[in-house]
């Protein structure tokens, strides 16, 4: 079993952390969120926050203006429309500022434990293709739908977290450690490129 590597205590903290993790490492996000969550300790505090002040806390995550703007706007919607609770459907989550399918699936799987929640990030795209679980597509929605057909719904979220960890530790985009990979016998890329000869 694997868990999300972002640190969070409240549901909305995970939502905001995932937004900060776009084009940024989870490690970097975990470095800045303690101060961010201490300065804005409640959802109301985020909803009332000055975007420019939030920018200062999230600056090192990159794309800080858009991320700060989305976090404050999202907090306002959660407070005003959902009484401070995260919505429980893909449609409602993806309607929130800065939230796409990847984030929505993460929330559905990690917060609400909804079976079939399938997070497709860059690691999942790469490894699903290398293993032959999908056929050459980089379209996250197509990959999500393909994986839903082959993964047991109750293990979908866990699978995605395992794939992320495997991608970071072994199946790197530029230099995969094929000889150390526990999946090499199943890997189309490994077997067709004959890296093991």
Residues catalogued as catalytic? 102, 121
* Ordered DSSP codes for 2-44: ---SS--SSHHHHHHHHHHTTTS-HHHHHHHHHHHHHHS-SHH
Instruction: Give dist(CA 50, CA 57) in Å, integer.
Output: 11
Instruction: Give dist(CA 124, CA 154) in Å, integer.
Output: 18
DSSP state of 174: S
DSSP state of 115: T
Residue 158 Cα to chain centre, angstroms: 12
């Amino acid at each position: 079993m694997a868990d999300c590597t972002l640190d969070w205590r409240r549901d909305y903290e995970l939502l905001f952390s995932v937004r900060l993790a776009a084009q940024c490492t989870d490690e970097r996000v975990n470095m800045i969120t303690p101060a961010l969550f201490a300065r804005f300790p409640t959802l109301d505090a985020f909803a009332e926050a000055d975007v420019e002040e939030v920018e200062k806390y999230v600056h090192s995550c990159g794309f800080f203006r858009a991320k700060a703007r989305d976090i404050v706007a999202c907090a306002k919607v959660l407070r005003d429309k959902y009484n401070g609770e995260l919505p429980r459907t893909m449609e409602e989550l993806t309607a929130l500022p800065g939230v796409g399918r990847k984030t929505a699936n993460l929330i559905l799987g990690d917060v609400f434990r909804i079976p079939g929640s399938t997070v497709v990030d860059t690691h999942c795209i790469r490894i699903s293709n290398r293993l032959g679980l999908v056929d050459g597509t980089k379209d996250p929605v197509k990959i999500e739908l393909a994986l839903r057909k082959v993964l047991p719904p109750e293990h979908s979220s866990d699978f995605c977290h395992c794939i992320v960890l495997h991608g970071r530790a072994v199946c790197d985009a530029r230099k995969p450690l094929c000889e150390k990979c526990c999946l090499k016998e199943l890997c189309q890329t490994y077997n067709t490129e004959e890296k093991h000869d």
